[in-house]
Structure 1
Amino acid sequence: MKLTVLYRGPLSSCNYGCEYCPFGKWKHTEEELAKDRADLERFLAWAESRTQDTLAVFFTPWGEALIWPWYQEALARLTHLPHVERVAVQTNLSCKLDWVPRCRPEKLGIWATYHPEWVKRRRFVAQCEKLSALGVRYSAGMVGFRRFAAEAEALRGELPADTYLWINAVKDGKEAPYTPEDVARFTQVDPLFPVNNTRHPSLGRACRGGESVISVDGEGTARRCHFIPEPIGNIYAPDFDAALKPRPCSKQTCGCHIGYVHLEYLELDRVFGSGILERVPTLPLGRPPAAP
């Protein structure tokens, strides 16, 4: 069986304080951190035991995980497992990178988000350059606030030409809709911006979520994805594998990359290939998928 797991434990804190993020500058108690570490250790033991499968693991924390050594060690451990083909993590890239040489770099993927309010562009670019030197595949990106447009263009100019720079469209309704000029400007930076700036019809559509892709929390509760709260089982239950089956999407639309990238009709797996977790296209970027 090939199975991709999006792991999100109880960690919900960050060393940055972005105004739009509920976890900015939130601090855990020692007890809460110990619980997060114990939950992660249990998950690692489960992953290590699944030798009959081919696994990919994607850490998508509510906050910043790589400032904590147990997440760094988790990435290193998982990349050395023969049955794990890919390990990726979402991060603001503020951590030291001295743990990366302990990983198998060809299995490691980094989804790095640039927050210009909290880090100098040169510092972020330098971190990306270190990843390149270490042989780690990564993408970089930003939230698509209009006030960040010039910064996104500047970052595009400083990153290597072969580094994919994504822009996450603001779709929470709190910002005025993008004008055609806004869309064109961000699309110059990220050719796939129109795809992310769309809430894709998903109700009743075939999706890999719940069959070959699952979301797992610290207790082991599995869901088809992060955006549908209904549990489908628990990975620590002996009969869990029976829960993995095709499930058409139950939501009207899907607007987040880590969700819609698994909708089969969009065929984005052809665009991202083996870089699907860290959001790195492996084919030349062409026109966005046609509307259904």
Structure 2
Amino acid sequence: MKLTVLYRGPLSGCNYGCEYCPFGKWKQSEEELTKDRADLERFLQWVESRTQDTVSVFFTPWGEALIWPWYQQALARLTHLPHVERAAVQTNLSCRLDWLTECRTEKLGIWATYHPEWMKRSRFLAQCERLSEHGVRHSAGMVGFRRFADEAEALRRELPEDTYLWINAVKDGLDAYTPEDVERFTRIDPLFPVNNTRHPSRGRACRGGESVLSVDGDGTAYRCHFIKEPLGNLYAPDFDAALKPRPCSKDTCGCHIGYVHLEYLELDRVFGSGLLERVPTTRLWSGGLQRSASRSSQS
């Protein structure tokens, strides 16, 4: 079996204080952090036991994980497992990076978000350069508030040409886009129109619940982060029986970590083996973008 697990434990604290994020500057107690560490250890032991499968793990915490050593150690541990294909994480990249020397970096993926209110661009660029020096495949990105457009353009100019810079569209009405805004962000991120769309999903085939799972710290498994109907508990002896094709039960899907698994969008062809860390396959870049945008607009 080939299985991708999006793990989101109880960690919710972050060292940044972005005003749009409910977890900005949220401090967790020692008791809460101890539970998060124990939950993560249990999950790692489960991954280690799945030697008959090919497993990929994507850490998608509410807070910032890599400021805590147990997440750094977890990534190193996962990358040394023969049956683990990929270990990736979403991060603001504020942590030290000396732990990379403990990893098999060819299996490691980093999805790095640049927050210009909390980190200088020069520091973020230096962190990305270190990732490259260690052979870590990574993408960089920003939240697409219009006030960040100048900074996004500057970051695009200064990043290496082969580093994908994504822009996450603001879809909750906080920053309505004009056609000119969309054109500007699309010049930075050619896949911005795909992200700036709530893709029709009800009844559509999705890999969520079959080969892709969302799991919380207690082991409760869901088809994805956005459908809170439990499939069962990952640690139950008979859990594998719950894995099966399931059409999506939501009307639309607007988040990359969700819609990227909708089969009709064919974004697995756009991102290939860089799916988790959001790194497109260069060879399929233009064609994949055109297919995805076209299929979405026609549905």
**Residue 166 of structure 1: SS of its match in structure 2?**
strand
Map of 2:60 onto structure 1: 60
Find the aligned partners of 1:36 and 1:193 in 2 and give their Cα distance. Answer: 34
1:173 deviates by: 1.9
Map of 1:265 onto structure 2: 264
Quick check: 1:25 aligned with 2:25? yes
Instruction: Tell whether the 8 Å contact from 1:56 to 1:84 is kept in structure 2 after alignment.
Output: yes
Map of 2:16 onto structure 1: 16
Map of 2:196 onto structure 1: 197
**Residue 247 of structure 2: SS of its match in structure 1?**
coil
Find the aligned partners of 2:72 and 2:218 in 1 and give their Cα distance. Answer: 20
Quick check: 1:240 aligned with 2:239? yes
2:108 aligned partner, one-letter code: L
Find the aligned partners of 1:120 and 1:257 in 2 and give their Cα distance. Answer: 26
Tell me whether 282-291 or 37-46 shows the greater mean CA deviation: 282-291
- Deviation string, structure 1 residues 47-87 (Cα, Å, up to 9, x no partner): 00000000000000001000000000000000000000000
Gapped regions of structure 2 (runs ≥ 5)? none
Tell me whether 97-106 or 282-291 shows the greater mean CA deviation: 282-291
Map of 2:143 onto structure 1: 143
Find the aligned partners of 2:256 and 2:79 in 1 and give their Cα distance. Answer: 24
Map of 2:73 onto structure 1: 73
1:283 deviates by: 3.0
Map of 2:115 onto structure 1: 115
Quick check: 1:224 aligned with 2:197? no
Gapped regions of structure 1 (runs ≥ 5)? none
- Deviation string, structure 1 residues 147-169 (Cα, Å, up to 9, x no partner): 00000000001100000000000
Instruction: Tell whether the 8 Å contact from 2:131 to 2:137 is kept in structure 1 after alignment.
Output: yes
Instruction: Tell whether the 8 Å contact from 1:254 to 1:260 is kept in structure 2 after alignment.
Output: yes
Larger % of helix: which? 2
- Deviation string, structure 1 residues 4-40 (Cα, Å, up to 9, x no partner): 0000000001000000000000100000000000000
**Residue 132 of structure 1: SS of its match in structure 2?**
helix
**Residue 99 of structure 1: SS of its match in structure 2?**
helix
1:31 aligned partner, one-letter code: E
Map of 1:188 onto structure 2: 187
**Residue 7 of structure 2: SS of its match in structure 1?**
strand
Instruction: Tell whether the 8 Å contact from 1:270 to 1:283 is kept in structure 2 after alignment.
Output: no
1:239 aligned partner, one-letter code: D
- Deviation string, structure 1 residues 184-216 (Cα, Å, up to 9, x no partner): 000000000000000000000000000000000
1:175 deviates by: 2.4
1:282 deviates by: 1.2
Map of 2:87 onto structure 1: 87
Instruction: Tell whether the 8 Å contact from 2:146 to 2:175 is kept in structure 1 after alignment.
Output: no
Report the TM-score, using the length of structure 1 for normalisation.
0.99
Instruction: Tell whether the 8 Å contact from 1:11 to 1:36 is kept in structure 2 after alignment.
Output: yes
Aligned residue pairs total 291
Quick check: 1:173 aligned with 2:173? yes
CA-atom RMSD in angstroms: 0.6
1:20 aligned partner, one-letter code: Y
- Deviation string, structure 1 residues 239-292 (Cα, Å, up to 9, x no partner): 000000000000000000000000000000000000000000013421442122
**Residue 231 of structure 1: SS of its match in structure 2?**
coil
**Residue 87 of structure 2: SS of its match in structure 1?**
strand
